[in-house]
Amino acid sequence: MNVLIRSTSLILGLTLAGAAAACGGESAAPGTAAPAATAVTNPVDPATAGTITGSVKLDGKPPAAATINLSSDDYCAQQGPKTTRAFVVDGDGLQNVFVYVKDGLGNLKFPVPTTPVVLDQKGCWYEPRVSGIQVGQPFNIVNSDETLHNIHALPMNNREFNRGQRLKGEKYTTVFTTPEVMVPFKCDVHKWMNAWIGVLPHPFYAVSGAGGSFELKGLPPGTYTVEAWHEKLGTQTQMVTIGAKESKPITFTFKV
Amino acid sequence: MRHFFASLVAASTAVLIFAGGLVTSTESGLSVPDWPTTYGYSMFTFPLSKMVGGIRYEHTHRLIASTVGFLIVMLAIWLWRTEPRAWVRRLGYIALGAVITQGVLGGITVLFFLPDPISIAHASLAQIVFSLTMTIAVVTSPGWMRAYSTHGPAPDDRRLQRIAIVTAAVVYVQIIVGATMRHTGAGLAIPDFPLAFGQLIPPQWDEKIAIHFAHRIGALIASVCVLATTAHVFYHHRGRRELVRPSILLLVLVATQLTLGALTVLSHKDVLINSLHVVTGGCVLATSVVLALRAHRARFAAASIAGSTGAGSTEQDPAYTVGVPSRGHA
């Protein structure tokens, strides 16, 4: 029987030692205070700034939207039927594509806006589903629903966090410290709720809207790598050169 | 009465493992982001009306875990107050320590966003807690107390003891590999069954495929061990009900477990099938532990007799005067 006791203790000890040894290196959730905007002179001369305009097209027929089972939360069910939102198509335009300047800005630094970017939980959806933000810019997560949500950010380069919001009107403010395209969000309570945010060191990003159109304004003349990201279809890049005051149209076409 | 209560605790632990399996299968582990509170509420005052979506699985798991924890506290106190055998009392303390640690591991894994090592340790320790409560149920049973002497002295079959121990150990290792596969997202790394990418050996390898394949090979090894142990029992001890019954149960459970494992892959990890696979694995381990314990019953008696007559031992257990140690097969 002593052997039994010793064996059990050994197994317990090994299990816990393994867990403890592997537990290090985790980081705490990010702070809640939003820092003031960094005072950096805007390197863009408005007199010469150009624009990249364009649209994102979808070539092919997107998968049919599937009906979401809302039976796990009566409140969500009362908000009306829901279908999956991975493909939001307007004509042949594809919406919710994050378009941004990936390369070409060199070492230019840009002022950080103090206006927060808001991610709202409304009607048991994230609004907006896709958005962008600058490093250091305040990021507000709001619950507009009369049900509980958890906001679980799953970044690779920034700090992971998971916050609960049980009351309507609750707000959580944080900032991202490192550029990262894209940071996914999910609600573990409501599995269909997903959102993505692109974190950049500059303000040259957009999300395709009606007709798949987008616009990147105020760019200094130069040659840029522009990337388009879609949650299911991946990324595409294009090289674009714009001159002073020039408006250059480009088109991304994703195939399904 | 203690045996009945210990059996109840063991059964409730199995229910808890199933509930934990549901949490992982539904990916609800982080639907309650705080611990030990639930969305700021005390665990026990969290309104039922707010148990929506994934919270239902996670919070229910926490409530069942608290209940099981309370039951194990009661069991440990009961053993401490009434159990004459010191080693059984110690088992109660170890079970108590294990279930407390298990609760803390569950909390840590939530607070640190389900790190694989902690989640795997949480899953693996759960099976230890289950086996401990089952062990206490066995050693407090009337059959154990009379050394299963209805059909003669309990056999002291060293070969059976060895293979029964090896079987329990192999099953536990297989459970750890399974937990690793589950928590690293390797459950469908090999998408077909019984072949692997249409071949006996996977034609391509990565970490997840290796873990998944190791679990399949582990299932094969564990099944062979179970077959060897039960065949030994049926051949050498067919008159010993205390050995034959868990052997039959073990065979049924292993067949069920293999079927559930295959269906888990073929159903693309159906929530119910996947969770049943977890709890059935626990039952295979617990049953193999029961068989190993009963196979060792005569040695417990021998040790007790030797201990009661040897220097330094104060344990007097009249229940242990029945066994007749021998090295031959019964």
Q: Which residue type, as a one-letter code, is found at position A216?
A: L
| Most B CBs within 10 Å, among A15, A152, A170, A187, to test the B interface | A15
Closest chain B residue to A2, measured at CA: B87
Reported as a single tens digit per residue, the pLDDT across B220-275 is 999 999 999 999 999 999 999 999 999 999 999 999 999 999 999 999 999 999 99
Residue B24 pLDDT exceeds 70: yes
| Nearest one of A214, A217, A215, A223 to A243, comparing CA atoms | A223
Q: Where in chain A is the domain with CATH 2.60.40.1120?
A: 42-104+211-256
Q: How far is Cα A34 from Cα B201, in angstroms, rounded to an integer?
A: 54
Residue B257 pLDDT: 98
- CATH superfamily entry for domain A111-201: Cupredoxins -  blue copper proteins (2.60.40.420)
Share of chain B above pLDDT 70, in %: 91
- The answer to whether residues A61 and A87 touch, using CB atoms and an 8 Å cutoff, is no
Sign of dihedral through CA atoms A236, A240, A245, A246?
A: negative
How close B56 gets to chain A, by Cα (Å)? 9
Of A23, A76, A189, nearest to B54 by CB-CB distance is A189
Q: Which residues of B touch A (CB under 8 A)?
A: 27-34, 39-40, 50, 52-56, 85, 87-88, 90-91, 94, 97-98, 101, 105, 108, 112-113, 115-118, 120-122, 124-125, 128, 132, 135, 172, 300, 303-304
> Cβ separation of B27 and A188 shorter than 8 Å?
yes
Reported as a single tens digit per residue, the pLDDT across A147-171 is 999 999 999 999 999 999 999 999 9
Reported as a single tens digit per residue, the pLDDT across A191-215 is 999 999 999 999 999 999 999 999 9
Residue A183 pLDDT exceeds 80: yes
Residue A107 pLDDT: 83
- The answer to whether residues B288 and B167 touch, using CB atoms and an 8 Å cutoff, is yes
How far, in whole angstroms, is CA A149 from its chain's centroid? Answer: 17
How close A18 gets to chain B, by Cα (Å)? 8
- The answer to whether residues B172 and B127 touch, using CB atoms and an 8 Å cutoff, is yes
Contacts of B169 (CB under 8 A, 6+ apart): none
B319 pLDDT tier (thresholds 50, 70, 90): very low
Residue A118 pLDDT: 98
Reported as a single tens digit per residue, the pLDDT across B208-219 is 999 999 999 999
Q: Which residue type, as a one-letter code, is found at position B83?
A: E
Mean of pLDDT over chain A? 87
Reported CATH class of domain A42-104+211-256 = mainly beta
A44 pLDDT tier (thresholds 50, 70, 90): confident
The Cβ of residue B195 has, within 10 Å, a number of other Cβ atoms equal to 11
B60 pLDDT tier (thresholds 50, 70, 90): very high
Residue B120 pLDDT exceeds 60: yes
Closest chain A residue to B102, measured at CA: A16
CA dist list (Å): A221 to A52, A133, B61: 11, 23, 59
Choice between B47 and A21, residue whose per-residue pLDDT is larger: B47
How close B110 gets to chain A, by Cα (Å)? 9
Reported as a single tens digit per residue, the pLDDT across B123-169 is 999 999 999 999 999 999 999 998 888 878 888 999 999 999 999 99
Q: How far is Cα A105 from Cα B198, in angstroms, rounded to an integer?
A: 50
Choice between B328 and B48, residue whose per-residue pLDDT is larger: B48
| Nearest one of A207, A246, A254 to A224, comparing CA atoms | A246
In this prediction the pTM is: 0.84
